Copies of this chain bind each other. A is one copy, B any other.
Amino acid sequence: MNIYFEAIFEIIRTGHWITDSITRELKEFDIYEPQFNVLRILRGAKGKPISVNTILENMVQRSSNVSRIVDKLEMKGLVERTLCTEDRRKMDIIITNKGLELLKKLDKKVHDFHKPMMNNLNAEEADTLKQLIKKLKGQLQ
C-alpha cells in the first residue's frame, strides 16, 4: 500500500519543515525552538510557578531534557528556578519579565510564518486533516 507510505512521508517531512523553519525565524533572537516552547508553556501558567514535570506534560514532544533547556533559559535570565517549598523534590519555575517581553517579539515572528499557510486551508479542511491523522494512529472510532 504505497499511498500510505507517501502520506507518512509527507507527515514526517512537513513536521520537520515547520520546526526547522521556526528555528530559523528565532535564530536572530538566539533562542531555539524547544526553548521557545518551554517559554510559551511557562507563560501559559499565568504567573504561577510550575514544575519540570508540568512543563514536560505540556510539550509537543516529550523530552527527558527539560532540565537542560531550563538551564539555558535561566542563564539568559528568561526564567527563574527555585526549590519548591511544599515539595522539595520539585522545582518552581517561572518566566521573568524579560522572558515575557522576548516572547512578544517571537510570537510575531512565528505568526508571520504561519500566516500564508493558514490561508491555504479552510476550517473544514484543517479539521479533516487533523481527524485523518488521528484515524491513522487509531485514535478515532
Contact = CB atoms under 8 A, between A and B. Distances in A.
A36 to B, nearest CB: 13
A127 B122 CA distance: 18
A116 B138 CA distance: 8
B134 A10 contact: yes
* SS class, residues of chain A in contact with chain B: helix
Contacts of A16: 15, 60-61
A119 B126 CA distance: 23
Contacts of A4: 114, 117-118, 121, 123, 126
A67 interface: no
A12 B11 CA distance: 8
A136 B3 CA distance: 18
Interface of A: 1, 3-20, 60-61, 114, 116-118, 120-121, 123, 125-130, 132-138
Given A3-B130, A10-B133, A121-B136, 19 more contacts: A1-B118, A3-B126, A4-B117, A4-B118, A6-B126, A7-B126, A12-B19, A13-B61, A14-B133, A15-B16, A16-B60, A16-B61, A120-B137, A120-B138, A128-B132, A129-B129, A129-B133, A129-B136, A132-B132
